[in-house]
Structure 1
């Protein structure tokens, strides 16, 4: 997958999305829960599929979501909330490029597990933001 601007290697994306240990998952989930909506506010103008991103968040925190799906989504969302990653988010115009690549890959891998209620909550949340 490539997108305009800086490119992120597919192997790097796979490394980022690696589920890891339960301890890794817990650490990532804590980071996501504490920073997700602040990052969404900053990224709204830069990520064209924000409804999918927010629906992915609700899918990831849903106890009924399969563990492997939760692991992939939490890994992607943890990368999304990091302010300094491969391409720092504060770089205007290109800062979220790597985040978009990681999020799209994760979203495409687990799309079938993101249910209508996750999208409903995402739309409600985005309307409030």
Structure 2
């Protein structure tokens, strides 16, 4: 993140375009997220948070700005190329965790107890 970054800043045109693409193909994005979680859920401590964020983003009652924030963070998690390659032992998911944690902190009030309970149940079934 650049200095002076704030979650109150507007998304850039590029960020908005990427988010819109993700929203148009939610089915594929969701299947990629679940496939990734199947592979790594046992190794990453924030898997439940990531899945709860996905469930919140798919909830029609979730405000649009919250959905975009969460989908942007989850998109970073799903993308194979990021700041630290995910295959690096111990460090691979730290950048993903930081981005997801920042997004969740920014919209924490929107992720409900029901989203978290459903995420926990889904992960238990993986």
Does 1:90 find its partner at 2:87? yes
Choose 108-117 or 30-39, whichever is displaced more: 30-39
Query: What is the count of residue pairs matched by the alignment?
Result: 119
Write the distance in 2 (CA, Å) between the matches of 1:123 and 1:104: 17
Write the distance in 2 (CA, Å) between the matches of 1:82 and 1:24: 12
Unaligned runs of 5+ in 2: none
- Write out the 4+ residue segments of structure 1 that deviate beyond 6 Å after TM superposition: none
Distance 1:14 1:99, change over 3 A: farther
Write the distance in 2 (CA, Å) between the matches of 1:65 and 1:47: 26
Counterparts of 1:1-129 in structure 2, within 5 Å, are 9=1, 11=3, 18=11, 20-21=15-16, 23-29=17-23, 30=25, 32-129=29-126
1:110, CA displacement in angstroms? 0.5
Unaligned runs of 5+ in 1: 1-8
Write the distance in 2 (CA, Å) between the matches of 1:113 and 1:88: 30
The two structures have a TM-score, normalised by structure 1, of: 0.79
Structure 2 partner of 1:6: none
Write the distance in 2 (CA, Å) between the matches of 1:14 and 1:87: 22
